[in-house]
Amino acid sequence: MTKAVLLSLFVLSCAPLAVQAQTSTQQPPARGAALAAAAAKIPTPGEFPAYKPPHTGDGKPDFNGIWQSFVTADIDIQDHDAQAGPHPDIMGAYGAWPGGQGIVEGGEIPYKPEALAKKKANAEKRMVVNITSDDRRHDTGDPELKCYRPGVPRANYMPFPFQIIQSTDNIMMVYEFEHTLRTIFMKENDKEAPKDPPADSWMGWSHGRFEGDTLVIDTTGFVPYTWFDRAGDFHSDALHVIERYTLASPYHIMYEATIEDPNVYTRPWKVSFPLYRRMEKNVQLVDFDCVEFVEKMLYGPYYKNPGK
Amino acid sequence: MRLALAMAMLVLALGLFVTAMPLQAHHAFAATFDTQKPVVVHCTITKVELINPHSWFWCDEKAADGTVVNWGFEGGSPNSLIRHGVTKATIPTGTELIIQGYQSKAFEHKGVGVNMTFPDGRKFLFGGSAPGAEGEVATPTKDEVAPTTKDDSSSKK
Amino acid sequence: MGNRFGVSSNALMIGAAVLLLPAFILAQTKPSVAAKADTKTASAKSPEKKTWVLPRTPDGQPNLQGYWTSLSFTPMERPAKYGSREFLTDEEAAEIHKEGIQHSYEFTFNDLAETPVYDATVYALSAWQEGVAPNKRTSLVVDPPDGKIPALTPEAAKVREAVRRHGPNQDYADPNAPVKADVAEDLNLGERCLSFGGPPILPGAYNSNFFIVQGAGYVMVEYEWNNETRIIPLDGQPALSQGIHRWHGNSRGHWEGNTLVVETSNFRPGATFQGANPKTLKITEYFTRTDQNTIEYKFTVDDPSTWTKPWSAIVPLSHMDGPIFEYDCSENNNDAVNILAGARATERAAEEKAKKISQK
C-alpha cells in the first residue's frame, strides 16, 4: 500500500465524523422545529408573552386564587444589602434580613426634605415600642413589629400569601398576616359604599373597576400610621394609592401601585413587582395571628412584675 | 394543670354565654373605670377617633386659671355609627361638649363617657328610645352636631 | 307605608319587620329539614303573584352574598314555661320582640350609679338601631327536641365544676370587685383582640354582623368583630392538613341542593365553642337562603368528649344594610392598657393604704 492509499483510507474514515459534526450544527428537521425552538427559549424576566386570562361567570378577568410576592420589599422598598437583624447574638441567621433589589420605579422615593428626616427618625426608632392608651402608641415603632395591619401596598409584599375572592359587587383580599382584610367595592353608586371614606382605616377605603382586563383599585382614607417597610418609609392621612392588577400568565399577576401624598412627597411615585400564584397541591391560608406573639412586648410595662 | 384551668376559664367566659359580648364588655369597664370617681367635664373636641374596639373622644378642658387639660373619653364601637351616616367630619374639632363619666383607675385624665351632651342639652350623636316607647330618634346632621342656634326638631334623613 | 313606630328609618325597618311578621312566621314554621330546606318558589304560580326566586351567582350557585345580622332575642335554651313547644304564638313573639327592643342593651345610662359604661344608644348599638328581626322559635336549640343542650360527659362536667369553683378572673356581678389582671393572658380572648369566637355564628349583643362573598369555589364569611374571616373551600379542594389548627378551625363546604353544608374541625386548644375538646369537636353548619332577607342558619355541635350527644340550633340570619367597616382591634386596644394599668393602680392604692395603717 502506498502512502496515498493510507491517506485516503484515513480521510475516508474521518469523513463520517466530519459529516456527523456538520450535521449536529445544522437545524433540526423542519417538523419539530417550532417546538424545539420554543422549548429552548427561557422566559426573560420582566417580559410576558401576550396573555388572555380566563373570565369569571360575569365576564370579568378572573383574579380568584392564592397569591404571594417574593421580593424583599417589606424590609426596604429601595435597594438593600443583607443585614444582621435584631439581637444577632441570640438570633444568628434566623434573625438576619436578606438583601434585595428595590421595587421603586426610578429607584429613589421623592421625599420632601423635611419628610426624609422623618423617615430616618422612623428607621432609628423602628423597634422603640411604647404602648399607651392613646394615639401616642403610634409615635414610634414599625407597625409590622407590633402586628398591626400593614396598610397598602405593603400588605401585598409581606412574605405571606393572600387570597382573592372575587364576586360581581365586591372583591375581597384576605391576607394571612394578622387576618388583614381589604374590601374592594366594585359596584358603581353602591349606597352601602359611599364614594368618600366615612372614616380612616389601616387598609383604606377602596373602589375598584376594570379597564379591559386590568383591575384598577383606587384607595384613600388611610390612617397615617402604617409604613411602607421596616426602613421607616411612611405617609400621611392624605395618602392616595392607585393599583393596577393585570393577569400576565396563568401563574402571574403584574402588579403596580402609584403612591401619591402631597404632604410627604414632591410627586407621585410607583412600585411594581409580580405576584405569583401559589401552586402547592393543598395550598390554603393558615393563621398568622401575630397578636399573641407581641403581647409581652406591647403590654409588658403594665404587667404585675414587669421585666420578669 | 393550673394553666389548663386558666385556659378553660377563659374559654368558658367567652363561649358559655349566647350573647358573649355584653358580659365581657361589662368586665372591661368595671376593671378600667372607677365608680368612686365620677366626673363632669365641659370641654372642646380636639380629636375624634372612630376606632375599635371603642371610639375615643379627646377634649380640652379649660380651667378657671386658663390652664388646659386634655381629657380622653371612651365611647362605643363606631361601626354602627358609620352605617347610620356618621363620618369623620360629623364632629368637628372645636365642638363643645359636656361629658359626664367615670375616671379611669389608672389615668387621671381618661375616662368613659357615660352621658354626653351639647351645652344646650341636646344629646350627642344618637338619642331616643326604641320605637313604641317614648321619645323620637333624631339623627343629627353635620350642622346640628356643631353648636348652632337651630332647635332640636329634626327628623331622620 | 305607614307605621306606628316613629320617624327614623331604622324604626321603619323594625316596623316593617313587625308588619311582615306573618310572612316571616310562615318562613319559620316550615319544617326545617336539615339538608334540604327548599326555597319558596311555589309550584302553583299565577301570573299576578310574585314568587321569590332563589338568586344565583354567575357560576350557578345559590347566592348567599350580602350583609347579614344574627342579632336575636331568642334564648339559646328553651325557657321552662314553654314546655315542649317549638314555636311561640304570634302574640308571644310580638311581646318578646317588643320587650327586647325596650331593654336591648342592659347597660344603659339608667344604671349610671352602678355601671360605668357608655350609653349604647348614642352609638347606634342598641338592637332596635342595628336591626333585629323577630323570631318565632322558643329557643335557638332545636335538637334535642326539648330545646335544651344535652348533658355534659362526666369528664367535661368535672372541668366545668372546677372552673366554676375557681371562679372567673373577674366578678361579673360586682363592678367594684378586684380584678385579676397580672398579664395579658388574664384577659379574655376578645379583650386581647385574639379571637371573638366562631364557628358557630351566634347572636351577639351588637356588631353581630356578617358579610358573605362567594367566588370560584370558595365562600368567605367575614365577622364584623375584628374582621375575622373564614374561607370555606368547596367541593374538589384538597383534603385538610391534619396538623394545622386554627382559631376558627378549618372548614370544608359542599352544596346539598340549595343548602351550603360546612364541616369544621382542627380547632386550636383554648379557642373552642363552649370549651369543647379541640381534638374531637366537629361543627357542621347549614346555610339555606329561604327568602330575599333571610338565611336559615343551622349548626350541629358534635363532641363526644364534651356532650353526651350531638345537638343543633337554628339562628336566623336577617339581611341588613352594610357596610362592615374595618374593625381595627389590637391597633387601638386601649382597653388592654387601661385594664392592666387599672389593676396596677388598684394594687398600689391598696399598698399605700396598708402602709398608712401600719404607720399609725
Residue-wise pLDDT for C114-130, tens only, equals 577 888 888 999 888 88
CB C198 within 8 A of CB C209: no
- Structure-model confidence comparison of residues B132 and C287, the more confident one: C287
Residue in the structure block whose three cell numbers are 403584574: A254
**pLDDT of B140 over the 50 cut:** no
- Structure-model confidence comparison of residues C119 and B10, the more confident one: C119
Q: What is the pLDDT of residues B21-74, one digit of tens each?
A: 444 455 567 778 988 899 999 999 999 999 999 999 999 999 999 999 999 999
Residue A104 covered by a domain: yes
Q: Which of B7, B10, B51, B58 to mutate to test the interface with A (most CBs of A within 10 A)?
A: B51
**pLDDT of C7 over the 50 cut:** no
Quote the domain boundaries for residue B102.
36-145
pLDDT (0 to 100) of residue C105 = 58
Per the CB < 8 Å rule, is C175 touching B49? no
CB A206 within 8 A of CB A219: yes
pLDDT (0 to 100) of residue C241 = 83
Task: Report residue C216's pLDDT band, with 50, 70 and 90 as the boundaries.
Answer: confident
Lowest mean pLDDT among A278-287, C31-40, C97-106, C182-191: C31-40
CB A225 within 8 A of CB A202: yes
pLDDT (0 to 100) of residue B22 = 44
Of residues A289, A217, A305, the one with CA closest to residue A255: A217
Instruction: Domain count for chain B, please give it.
Output: 1
Report the alpha-carbon angle B14-C331-C233, nearest 5: 60
**pLDDT of C158 over the 80 cut:** yes
What ipTM goes with this model? 0.87
Mean pLDDT of chain C: 83
For residues B3-27, average pLDDT: 42
Say which CATH number the domain at B50 has: 2.40.50.140
Question: In chain B, which among 60-99 make CB contacts under 8 A with chain C?
Answer: 74-84, 86
CB A155 within 8 A of CB A203: yes
Residue B79: its chain C contacts at CB < 8 A?
207, 224, 324-325, 327
Residue C244: its chain A contacts at CB < 8 A?
286
Q: What is the pLDDT of residues A246-277, one digit of tens each?
A: 999 999 999 999 999 999 999 999 999 999 99
pLDDT (0 to 100) of residue A30 = 58
User: Residue C124: left if φ>0, alpha if ψ -120 to 50, beta else—which one?
Assistant: left
Task: Report residue B1's pLDDT band, with 50, 70 and 90 as the boundaries.
Answer: very low
B79: nearest CA in chain A? A199
Per the CB < 8 Å rule, is B16 touching C109? no
Q: What is the pLDDT of residues C199-208, one digit of tens each?
A: 999 998 889 9
Task: Report residue A70's pLDDT band, with 50, 70 and 90 as the boundaries.
Answer: very high
- Structure-model confidence comparison of residues C56 and C101, the more confident one: C56
Q: How far is CA A106 from CA A77, A78, A79, A245, A269, in A?
A: 12, 10, 11, 20, 9
In percent, the amount of chain A with pLDDT more than 70 equals 86
**pLDDT of C110 over the 70 cut:** no
Per the CB < 8 Å rule, is A303 touching C182? yes
Residue B130 covered by a domain: yes
**pLDDT of C16 over the 60 cut:** no
Lowest mean pLDDT among A56-60, C29-33, C113-117, C194-198: C29-33
**Whole-number Å distance between alpha carbons of A197 and A195:** 7
Cell of C63: 347566592
For residues A103-120, average pLDDT: 97
**Whole-number Å distance between alpha carbons of B72 and B61:** 10
pLDDT (0 to 100) of residue C114 = 59
Kind plus residue range of the DSSP H or E element containing A212: none
pLDDT (0 to 100) of residue A224 = 98
B87: nearest CA in chain A? A198
Kind plus residue range of the DSSP H or E element containing C116: none
Question: In chain B, which among 128-157 make CB contacts under 8 A with chain C?
Answer: 128-133, 136-137, 139, 155-156
Instruction: Domain count for chain A, please give it.
Output: 1
For chain C, what is the total number of helices (H) and then of strands (E)? 6, 10
pLDDT (0 to 100) of residue B145 = 40
Nearest CB neighbour to C340, from listed A58, A163, A303: A303
- Residues 6 or more apart whose CB falls under 8 angstroms from that of C153 comprise C304, C305, C306, C307, C308
Task: Report residue A147's pLDDT band, with 50, 70 and 90 as the boundaries.
Answer: very high
Residue B132 covered by a domain: yes
Beta strands A65-68 and C218-223: pairing type?
unpaired
Task: Report residue B150's pLDDT band, with 50, 70 and 90 as the boundaries.
Answer: very low
Residue B55 covered by a domain: yes
Residue A123 covered by a domain: yes
For residues C305-322, average pLDDT: 96
**Whole-number Å distance between alpha carbons of A37 and C170:** 74
Name the residue type at position A267.
Answer: R
Residue B156 covered by a domain: no
**pLDDT of C37 over the 60 cut:** no
Task: Report residue A105's pLDDT band, with 50, 70 and 90 as the boundaries.
Answer: very high
pLDDT (0 to 100) of residue A237 = 97
Cell of A291: 397578636
- Residues 6 or more apart whose CB falls under 8 angstroms from that of A259 comprise A153, A228, A235, A239, A240, A241, A265, A268, A269, A270, A271
Question: In chain C, which among 66-85 make CB contacts under 8 A with chain A?
Answer: 67
Neighbours of B63 (CB within 10 A): 8
**pLDDT of B147 over the 60 cut:** no
**pLDDT of A207 over the 60 cut:** yes
Alpha helices per DSSP H over chain C: 9-19, 21-29, 90-102, 127-130, 154-166, 334-359
A301: nearest CA in chain C? C341
- Residues 6 or more apart whose CB falls under 8 angstroms from that of B15 comprise C197, C272, C273, C274, C275
Question: In chain C, which among 125-164 make CB contacts under 8 A with chain B?
Answer: 125-126, 128-130, 140, 159-160, 162-163
pLDDT (0 to 100) of residue C236 = 73
Q: What is the pLDDT of residues A217-247, one digit of tens each?
A: 999 999 999 999 999 999 999 999 999 999 9
CB C349 within 8 A of CB C178: no
**Whole-number Å distance between alpha carbons of A262 and C296:** 50
- The A-side interface with B (CB below 8 A) comprises 133-135, 196-200
In percent, the amount of chain B with pLDDT more than 90 equals 53
Structural domain spans, chain C:
66-86+139-319
pLDDT (0 to 100) of residue A8 = 55
pLDDT (0 to 100) of residue A223 = 98
Per the CB < 8 Å rule, is C116 touching B56? no
Question: In chain A, which among 233-292 make CB contacts under 8 A with chain C?
Answer: 281-282, 284-287, 289, 291-292
Task: Report residue C240's pLDDT band, with 50, 70 and 90 as the boundaries.
Answer: confident
For residues C347-353, average pLDDT: 92
Mean pLDDT of chain A: 91
pTM of the model: 0.85
pLDDT (0 to 100) of residue C327 = 97
Neighbours of B129 (CB within 10 A): 17
Say how many CA atoms lie within 13 Å of B122 toward its Cβ.
24
Could you list the beta-strand ranges (E) of chain A: 65-68, 162-166, 170-175, 181-185, 205-211, 214-220, 240-249, 252-260, 269-277
pLDDT (0 to 100) of residue C351 = 92
pLDDT (0 to 100) of residue C218 = 96
**Which burial class, exposed, middle or buried, applies to A97 when counting CB atoms under 10 A from its CB (0-12, 13-18, 19+)?**
middle
pLDDT (0 to 100) of residue B27 = 58
Nearest CB neighbour to C328, from listed B52, B105, B106: B52
B9: nearest CA in chain C? C163
Residue A68 contacts C where some CB pair is shorter than 8 Å: no
Residue A289: its chain C contacts at CB < 8 A?
194-195, 247
CB A224 within 8 A of CB A38: no
**Which burial class, exposed, middle or buried, applies to C136 when counting CB atoms under 10 A from its CB (0-12, 13-18, 19+)?**
buried
**Whole-number Å distance between alpha carbons of B58 and B45:** 6
- Structure-model confidence comparison of residues B147 and A299, the more confident one: A299
pLDDT (0 to 100) of residue C174 = 59
Compute the nearest-CA separation of C154 from chain A (Å): 32
SS3 A122: helix
In percent, the amount of chain B with pLDDT more than 70 equals 63
**Whole-number Å distance between alpha carbons of A223 and A197:** 11
Q: How far is CA A195 from CA A189, A192, B26, C310, in A?
A: 8, 10, 36, 47
- Residues 6 or more apart whose CB falls under 8 angstroms from that of B88 comprise A197, A198, A199, A200, B48, B50
**pLDDT of C254 over the 50 cut:** yes
